[in-house]
A = this chain, B = another copy of it.
Amino acid sequence: MTKEKSRHHHGNLQAALVEAGISIIRADGLEALSLRKCAAMAGVSHAAPAHHFGNLDGLKQAIAQEAFARFTQFMRSHADAGDDTPRARLHGICLGYLAFARAEPALYAMIFCYTPNTPPADKGPNDIARDRTRGPAYQLLRETCAPFVPAGTDPVVIETQVWSLVHGFALLCQHGRLGPEPPSDETVLAMLDRIG
Chain A interface (Cβ within 8 Å of chain B)? 112-113, 117-118, 121, 125, 130, 133-135, 156-157, 160-161, 163-169, 171-172, 175-180, 183, 187, 190-191, 194-195
Contacts and interface: CB of A to CB of B under 8 A. Distances in A.
Contacts of A165: 161, 164-165, 168
Contacts of A187: 157, 160
Contacts of A177: 112, 117, 134-135
Given A164-B172, A165-B165, 10 more contacts: A112-B171, A117-B177, A133-B179, A134-B179, A157-B187, A161-B194, A164-B168, A165-B168, A167-B172, A168-B168
B168 A163 contact: yes
B112 A175 contact: yes
A77 B195 CA distance: 29
Contacts of A167: 168, 171-172
Contacts of A121: 180
B175 A117 contact: yes
A130 B160 CA distance: 28
Given A160-B191, A191-B157, A194-B161, A130 B169 contact: no
Residue among A113, A133, A167 with max Cβ neighbours from chain B (10 Å): A167
Contacts of A130: 179
